[in-house]
Chains A and B, each alone.
Chain A
Amino acid sequence: MENRRVQIAAQGLGLAAISYDSPAVLKAFADREHVGFPLLSDTDSKVIRSYGILNEGVEKGTFTYGIPHPGTYLLDAGGVVVAKYLFRRFGLAGEKREAVDAKYLKFSLAGGEGTLRPNQRVSLAVDIRLPRRMHVYAPGVTGYLPISLKLADSPAWTSDPVTFPAAKLMRLEAIHETVPVYEGRLQLLDTITLSGPQQIERLLDGERMLTVAGELRYQACDDRRCYVPETVPVKWKLKVLPFDRIRAPENLRRK
């Protein structure tokens, strides 16, 4: 953020960071790291809670209790959130959906809960669980078939590149190769930007649901054998409210 502070300001955007640290801690940090934008102190995590991003995984009573799931919010001149960027697994709000039994692995879809508006960004996730001793290949592998998530092309959204977790290097001693793989649990994350109301409206169903469809493709192996490549359809249903045309009060609007 600090490295891009000038560019951000040049775009007419204000910039501030919020943490649970005390003002004294933040002052020391800002001095040490030469931070030139405001660091706001939320010592009782009131703001953090109000954004619904308190990290509940941290045990109460420990010194880290009160930290948020990291994320960046873009607010309009009226203080309304118009975009959020939560790229981590725990940044995805909402309840877990039922796991799907696919061949050689289980997965569940997350993200897109709640309501959205045109032009908003939303992260969609595939949480995958591989059985013991099973692995799939990570992107960048050569000669093997890496796992991939591909959303369908649609005028209703544009998709960021899929975010993959760090791969583990697996040594295949018998063939003297080292390959990047995933074992156990992993999450594939695809953040999309919804299009404007004109493109979205005609693609909504009667309940204003937008279907975001895609394909999960993978090829799994265990230590003895490999299984034929699988392509599994995935689908999120997003509730998209009409474009918010109510503007902030006149005196708050940017001139």
Chain B
Amino acid sequence: MGAKSVTIKLVSRFVQALLLVAVVAAIVLGYRAGGDGSLRPPDRRPALNPFRLESLGGEPWALADQRGSVVLLNFWATWCPPCRKETPDLVTLSHTYGMRGLRVAGITMDEEPASVVPAFVDRYRVPYPILLPDASFGLARSINSLPTTMLLDRQGRVARMYFGARSAEEIAPDVERLLSEK
């Protein structure tokens, strides 16, 4: 490997890190500015860095593959009662809007997901993929409370963040609006 390619790689990592910080900052600032209260207008939606994770069943799941769909990304854990409360609502949303272009994915924050998540998925009849964050998945490290849910528009931009458990009724109008966007 030449010095030039090492430099390019380093610069690219630096840019990636900067982008991550920028996205997280934009999300947090958006939240503090009241962004949590309603859907953000398209020009104020930060794009999420592409990522690719393995799902519980072993299937890969890539954000890039969801382009064109509305995506609901739910950060959760089995040890989180509000997440348990919220899960049936996410299951409902997945069933209700799946055919119209909503894709729901759970990202588990459990430390040993293989031993606890399958029973949870069975119990709540979770139809959507549960993704397993790896060490390189910086977005998971920026999450400090659960559940945290990101609603992404068809371009993969963060249209709204939900902190704490939300009901299907609260999230559905936002999903409807994003589905109606081109």
Contact = CB atoms under 8 A, between A and B. Distances in A.
Contacts of B82: 221, 224-226
Contact of A226 (B79, B111, B116): B79
A225 B147 contact: yes
B146 A175 contact: no
Given A227-B145, A228-B143, A228-B144, A221 B81 contact: yes
B84 to A, nearest CB: 5
A225 B143 contact: no
B26 interface: no
Contacts of A137: 79
Nearest to A227: B145
B141 to A, nearest CB: 9
Contacts of A179: 81
A13 B104 CA distance: 69
B164 A175 contact: no
B99 to A, nearest CB: 28
B90 interface: no
Contacts of A143: 78-79, 116
A106 B78 CA distance: 25
A226 B77 contact: yes
A221 B76 CA distance: 13
Nearest to B82: A225
B145 A226 contact: yes
Interface in A48-62: none
Interface in A214-255: 219, 221, 224-229
A177 B148 CA distance: 22
B77 to A, nearest CB: 7
Interface in B4-21: none
A174 interface: yes
B150 to A, nearest CB: 15
Interface string A176-198: 01010000000000000000000
Nearest to A175: B84
A177 B82 CA distance: 12
B81 A175 contact: yes
Contacts of A73: none
Contacts of B148: 225
A14 B80 CA distance: 52
Contacts of A103: 144
Interface in A120-158: 137, 143-145
Nearest to B85: A174
A177 B78 CA distance: 13
Contacts of B165: 174, 224-225
B164 A224 contact: yes
A216 B16 CA distance: 34
B80 A226 contact: yes
A16 interface: no
Nearest to A228: B144
B163 interface: yes
Nearest to A177: B81
B79 A225 contact: no
A148 to B, nearest CB: 13
A166 B144 CA distance: 28
A233 B109 CA distance: 22
B159 interface: no
A232 to B, nearest CB: 15
Contacts of B147: 225
B130 interface: no
A150 B175 CA distance: 46
B83 interface: yes
Interface in B62-103: 77-85
Contacts of B80: 221, 225-226
9 contacts: A143-B78, A221-B81, A224-B164, A225-B147, A225-B163, A225-B165, A226-B79, A226-B145, A228-B145
Interface of A: 103, 137, 143-145, 172, 174-175, 177, 179, 219, 221, 224-229
Interchain residue pairs A-B with the least CB separation, the first 5: A224-B164, A226-B80, A174-B85, A225-B164, A225-B145
